[in-house]
Amino acid sequence: MMSLWNRYQTAMSSPALPEPAFTIDALYLYPVKACAGVPVDHLVIDGDGGAAGDRHWAIVNARGDVTWQGDHPRLALVHPQLTDDALVLTTPGMAPVHVPTTGPLAPVHVTIWNERDRRAEVFEAEDAGNAAAAWLTRVTGALLRLVRLGHAARRRDTVNRLHLTTRASADAVDRHLAEAGGPPADPRRYRPNVVLRSDAAAFEEDFLQALDGPAGRIEMTAPCVRCVVPNVDPTDASVSPRTLEALTALSAAHHPGKPTTFGVYGRAKPGTRFAVGDVFSGEFAF
């Protein structure tokens, strides 16, 4: 496998350098923001360029602020499933809770932090009811409620539509962890929508501009700046700094002086359907 630096040097002297093919190795949908992902065999792109049904629901705290795994790691143990008429939440050792999705719910307002503009924004939402709230409180030990986000909240311009990672980069993190005497990181920690497999070097996705394939095109929009969520083990919700430390070290080696990143964000044409096994060519900007 050609190293990232060697590919860069070769690309500068040979515009005709063949690019590696990228195959979709896994796909994930996150019906509830901050909760566990659902492995799926295909994604349909919605009108905003992201996965249809992704993060339409969210968890709010007692103040009505949309919250995350950084504050409540045990949300990693909440596994959502969408049926024809309900959102079902499950977790080990507890009976599931069912929230009907076909009728109206109680209107509420929720607050979402806008990291780009450093301000809180208020949006319309619908509360899923006391049964779901009591269930979440038993799971997490905190006063939390489930809400269905309104259209404006889902379409806000600070939302990153698709998150893509590669097996090669995840393997590089595991090698770094092994060198420090630690176990590998469950790749679900990175919370991707699309996991890609290829012969490309680790972190080569940082230079992707687009992926093109028979199913359609995915255009990259930004690197994924990492928070503390990769420190949460999705199997038991335990928290350790090892994974983020590894991401920080590897990111600094490739992009000195810049924020810690892992993976990239993208957007696709509405109505496109991507499936596990789809193959793409990469368009790079070294």
68 and 175 both lie in a single domain = no
How many separate domains does the chain show? 2
Q: What is the DSSP letter of 207?
A: G
Model pLDDT, residue 9: 45
Count Cβ atoms below 10 Å from residue 80 Cβ, excluding itself: 19
Q: What is the DSSP letter of 163?
A: E
Give the chain's largest Cα–Cα span.
63
107 and 142 both lie in a single domain = yes
Residue 204 near residue 4 (C-beta atoms within 8 A)? yes
Model pLDDT, residue 218: 98
Query: 112, 131, 154 — which closes off a domain?
Result: 154
Query: 108, 130, 154 — which closes off a domain?
Result: 154
207 and 92 both lie in a single domain = no
Work out the angle between the directed axes of helices 167-179 and 242-254 (0-180°, nearest 10). 110
Confidence of residue 220 (pLDDT cuts 50, 70, 90): very high
Residue 41 near residue 81 (C-beta atoms within 8 A)? no
User: Tell me: the pLDDT tens digits for 124-151?
Assistant: 999 999 999 999 999 999 999 999 999 9
Model pLDDT, residue 11: 46
Q: For residue 170, what are the domain limits?
A: 4-28+160-284
